[in-house]
Amino acid sequence: MSLFSVDWGGYVPVLVDGLVKSVQLTAIGFVGACLVGFVVAVLRMSQNRVIKAAGYLYTELFKNLPIITGIFIIYFGLTGIGLVLDAFTAGWLALSLFYGAYLAEIFRGGLQGVSRGQTEAARALGLTSSRVLMTVQLPQAVRLALPATATMLVDLLKGTALLVTIGGGELMTQATIITSETFQPLEVYIVIGLIYVAMSWPLARLAGYLESHLREGTAMSPTNRKLRRITRAKLAQAATATTGGKVGR
Amino acid sequence: MNEPTIQIRDLHKSFGDLEVLRGVDLDVQPGEVVAVLGRSGSGKSTMLRCVNLLETPTSGTITVGGMTAFADRKAAKGRDLVALRRKVGMLFQGLNVFPHLSVVENVALPMVRSLRTGHEQAVDTAIQLLGKVGLQEKALAMPGQLSGGQLQRVALARALAMNPLALLFDEPTSALDPESTMDVLNVMKDLSAEGMTMIIVTHEVKFALDVADTILMIADGKVIERGSPAQIAENPQEQLTRKFLAEHTKFEGSAA
């Protein structure tokens, strides 16, 4: 007797299709969420009260609205005003808008976590405000925000399963189709569940790996790497000039 | 007489209703070391922070190297502000070395980003300056691996890398243990011997009397006394100065 009662071999193309859609939705949705998150975080830190309030309203609205409601508004609701989106587009759009609100809070925490002394020292060195942001604030904020951001990425990957409600074509949608054909919900959903675990677990591990490396002080930009390389070469050169020089002559 | 490197006239600064500076005048000549003494909250740090416009004065004038930093209630902005800040280096009480950058990057990167120095030359200068503060072998270390005194010396090398006209010190050793304090003060003493123009806000009275050309005593936002270290130490005119000096030398004597 076979371990499986579902003919999984025949469903491979369907599963691959769902898997690809899930990965695409995750990737596009996350990039969109990062952009939205960054913009809203900057709005929320603005000195201007109106701009600040706009950012606040955005995060509060999306933090308190169920994602599924948002998905339905975008996919079904917007047709009422003549805006018809396909399920895939509505899917990544909804994920970007919602996760953008969560990421905005995380990014803001990261940026505000960089101490005032750091930015003051950078300004005192005569760096322009954009240089202060790029050289001092952002690199430190990224390190602070990385763990929570990675958690959100994994959460977003799992969140793509919600798009089953609008037939997003992703893995969970395929699972319902396979179930309706095989009448084996237990087996199908366990297998699909394991596929989600197999995707999200390595993603979380990768984030952990990145985090520990950045903490140890890996140079993030090419300029930083170049400065370290030149330094290493010059120090080695100086060392041979003082010790090896005598041997040479 | 030379034009002063830093000139402060009738400087006022209020935070809301709190008047922190009430008409401070100061000329710092090229190569002069001015030590500013006073109790916490006397306004001495605020005065220092006004020089490079980390605080915006309420009124008065400030010129640095012939350039107007603040006049007619207007502060330098944009390019002028950046140019001003490049003229004066500053060290803080907090050890504000950038933790995500290695020691050499801390010193070289501001040169690359702000002065557009070439990478090779920036590293050359950085290594040379790190040698000067006794930390050449730490060039590739991360700030997390250094002690407080070492961090403050990195910050000093970083400030020197911008080739400033003058250096401002805002209680640079207040967060350090005695040994680290000595290391930092020794480097500062070397700098003064080389003719660096400096304003030093400090609680290290002995050091101030030893290194400074001029001592400035500030209380309640005003300069209450100024003079050479000898004048201040041997014949302070003000009751407050006498009291301050007595308090700050009381324990140092028994410790030494």
Query: Mind listing the pLDDT tens digit for each residue in A64-105?
Result: 999 999 999 999 999 999 999 999 999 999 999 999 999 999
Residue B179: what residue type?
E
Q: Would you call B18 helix, strand, or coil by DSSP?
A: strand
Q: How confident is the model at residue A187 (pLDDT cuts 50, 70, 90)?
A: very high
Strand order in the sheet with B197-201: B88-91, B166-170, B197-201, B33-37, B214-219, B222-227
Asked if the C-beta of B162 comes within 8 angstroms of chain A's C-beta atoms, the answer is yes
pLDDT mean over B147-170: 96
Tell which B residues from 49 to 108 touch A, by Cβ distance under 8 Å.
Answer: 52, 54, 82-86, 88-90, 92, 94, 96, 98-102, 104-105, 108
Q: How confident is the model at residue A242 (pLDDT cuts 50, 70, 90)?
A: confident
Tokens of B185: 């003060």
Q: What is the least distance, in Å, from the CA of A156 to any CA of chain B?
A: 29
pLDDT digits (tens, 9 = 90+) for A11-55: 999 999 999 999 999 999 999 999 999 999 999 998 899 999 999
Whether the complex's predicted ipTM is more than 0.85 is answered with yes
Instruction: Report the alpha-carbon distance of residue A163 to residue A21 in Å, rounded.
Output: 11
A131: chain B residues, CB-CB within 8 Å: 113-114
Q: How confident is the model at residue A217 (pLDDT cuts 50, 70, 90)?
A: confident
Instruction: Report the alpha-carbon distance of residue A189 to residue B198 in Å, rounded.
Output: 72
Mean pLDDT of chain A: 91
The separation between CA B37 and the C-alpha centre of its own chain, rounded to angstroms, equals 12
Residue with tokens 């930092």: B184
Report chain A's C-alpha Rg in angstroms. Answer: 25
Answer yes or no: is pLDDT of A1 > 50: no
Q: How confident is the model at residue A246 (pLDDT cuts 50, 70, 90)?
A: very low
A141: chain B residues, CB-CB within 8 Å: none
Tell which A residues from 207 to 226 touch B, by Cβ distance under 8 Å.
Answer: 216-217, 219-220, 223-224, 226
> Which residues share a beta bridge with B63?
B7, B68
Q: Would you call A126 and B142 a contact, using CB atoms and an 8 Å cutoff? A: no
Q: Would you call B139 and A231 a contact, using CB atoms and an 8 Å cutoff? A: yes
In degrees and rounded to multiples of 5, residue A167 shows phi and psi of 65, 55
Q: How confident is the model at residue A239 (pLDDT cuts 50, 70, 90)?
A: confident
A90 within 8 A of A75, measured Cβ to Cβ:
yes
pLDDT mean over B34-57: 95
Asked if the C-beta of A245 comes within 8 angstroms of chain B's C-beta atoms, the answer is no
Q: Would you call A227 and B123 a contact, using CB atoms and an 8 Å cutoff? A: yes
Q: How confident is the model at residue B1 (pLDDT cuts 50, 70, 90)?
A: low
H or E stretch covering B170: strand B166-170
Answer yes or no: is pLDDT of B51 > 70: yes
Tell which A residues from 19 to 58 touch B, by Cβ distance under 8 Å.
Answer: none
> Which residues share a beta bridge with B61?
B9
Size of interface A-B (CB pairs under 8 A): 108
Determine the pLDDT at residue B10. Answer: 96
Asked if the C-beta of B151 comes within 8 angstroms of chain A's C-beta atoms, the answer is no
Q: Would you call A117 and B136 a contact, using CB atoms and an 8 Å cutoff? A: no
For residues A156-180, one letter each, b for 16 or more C-beta atoms within 10 angstroms of the residue's C-beta and e for the rest, the string is bbebbbbbbbbebbbbbbbbebbbe
Determine the pLDDT at residue B191. Answer: 95
Determine the pLDDT at residue A244. Answer: 56
> Which residues share a beta bridge with B215?
B35, B227
B144: chain A residues, CB-CB within 8 Å: 217
A235: chain B residues, CB-CB within 8 Å: 127, 136, 139-140
Q: Closest to A125 (Cβ–Cβ): which among B94, B110, B120? A: B110
A127: chain B residues, CB-CB within 8 Å: 82, 110, 113-114
Asked if the C-beta of A179 comes within 8 angstroms of chain B's C-beta atoms, the answer is no
Instruction: Report the alpha-carbon distance of residue A21 to residue A84 in Å, rounded.
Output: 20
Asked if the C-beta of A143 comes within 8 angstroms of chain B's C-beta atoms, the answer is yes
Mean pLDDT of chain B: 92
Asked if the C-beta of B116 comes within 8 angstroms of chain A's C-beta atoms, the answer is no
- Chain A residue with CA closest to B118: the answer is A227
Residue A6: what residue type?
V
Neighbouring CB atoms inside 10 A of A233's CB total 12
Q: Closest to A227 (Cβ–Cβ): which among B86, B119, B155? A: B119
In degrees and rounded to multiples of 5, residue B13 shows phi and psi of -145, 125
